[in-house]
C-alpha cells in the first residue's frame, strides 16, 4: 500500500527537481538540457535506477542529472549558483504547497485518508530530496553551490574527488552518516513549514 503513495510522490519530486535545474539553466543561457530532451515534466526522462531505489528504500536519493554546460551561462558564477539551487528550492516549494493542501481541507473540516496520505508522502519526499541534494558531496547540488560561492581552490578539490564521489556517496548513505545529517534538518524544515501554514490558515 505504501508504494501506491510512494511511487507517484517520488516521480513528482524528482521530475520537479530536474526540470527546475533545466529551466534555470535555460534562463541563464544554456540550452543543453533542452537539446537532450530533459526540459520536460515527463518523469521517465529523469529517472536514475540507483537513486530511485535508495529513495524508495531509505527515504533519500537522486535522479539522473540534467546536463548543463556552465560555459554557456551569461554569468558563470551566478548561473552555477542559481541553477544548482533551483532543484532543492523547487522541492521545498512543492513540499510547502503539499502541506498547504493538507492543512487547508482540515481548516474546512474535510478529511479523506488516501488523499492526506499521498500529500503527506509528497511533502516528506520533497523535503528529504531537497535536503539530501544540498549535501556538499559531488555530484550533489550542494557541492556545485559551494564551488560557486567559494574560491577556485575548492572547485579544484571537488574536481579531484569527483571520480570517486559515487562510491563516497554510497558509503555515506549505507553507513548512516547521511541519515544523521538529514533527519534533524528534515524535522526543522517540516515543523517550520507546518507552523507557518498553521499561522497563515489560523489553525492555532
> Known catalytic residues?
18
In DSSP notation, 76-134 reads HHHHHHHHHHHHHHHHHHHHHHHHHHHHHHHHTT---HHHHHHHHHHHHHHHHHHHHHT
Cis peptide before 115 (omega within 30 of 0): no
As a whole number of angstroms, the distance between CA 84 and CA 139 comes to: 11
Count of CB atoms situated within 10 Å of the CB of 152? 8
Could you tell me the three cell numbers for 73?
551561462
Query: Cα–chain-centroid distance for residue 20?
Result: 10
Amino acid at each position: 500500500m505504501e508504494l501506491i503513495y510512494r511511487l507517484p510522490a517520488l516521480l513528482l519530486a524528482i521530475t520537479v527537481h530536474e526540470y527546475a535545474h533545466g529551466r534555470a539553466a535555460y534562463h541563464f543561457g544554456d540550452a543543453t538540457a533542452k537539446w537532450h530532451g530533459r526540459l520536460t515534466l515527463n518523469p521517465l526522462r529523469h529517472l536514475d535506477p540507483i537513486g530511485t531505489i535508495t529513495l524508495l528504500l531509505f527515504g533519500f536519493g537522486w535522479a539522473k542529472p540534467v546536463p548543463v554546460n556552465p560555459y554557456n551561462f551569461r554569468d558563470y558564477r551566478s548561473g552555477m549558483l542559481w541553477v544548482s539551487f533551483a532543484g532543492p528550492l523547487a522541492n521545498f516549494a512543492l513540499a510547502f504547497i503539499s502541506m498547504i493542501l493538507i492543512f487547508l481541507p482540515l481548516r474546512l473540516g474535510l478529511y479523506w485518508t488516501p488523499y492526506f496520505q499521498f500529500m503527506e508522502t509528497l511533502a516528506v519526499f520533497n523535503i528529504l530530496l531537497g535536503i539530501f541534494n544540498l549535501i556538499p558531496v559531488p555530484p550533489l547540488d550542494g557541492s556545485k553551490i559551494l564551488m560557486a560561492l567559494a574560491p577556485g581552490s575548492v572547485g579544484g578539490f571537488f574536481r579531484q574527488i569527483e571520480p570517486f564521489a559515487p562510491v563516497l556517496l554510497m558509503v555515506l548513505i549505507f553507513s548512516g552518516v547521511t541519515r544523521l545529517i538529514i533527519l534533524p534538518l528534515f524535522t526543522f524544515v517540516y515543523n517550520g513549514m507546518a507552523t507557518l501554514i498553521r499561522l497563515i490558515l489560523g489553525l492555532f
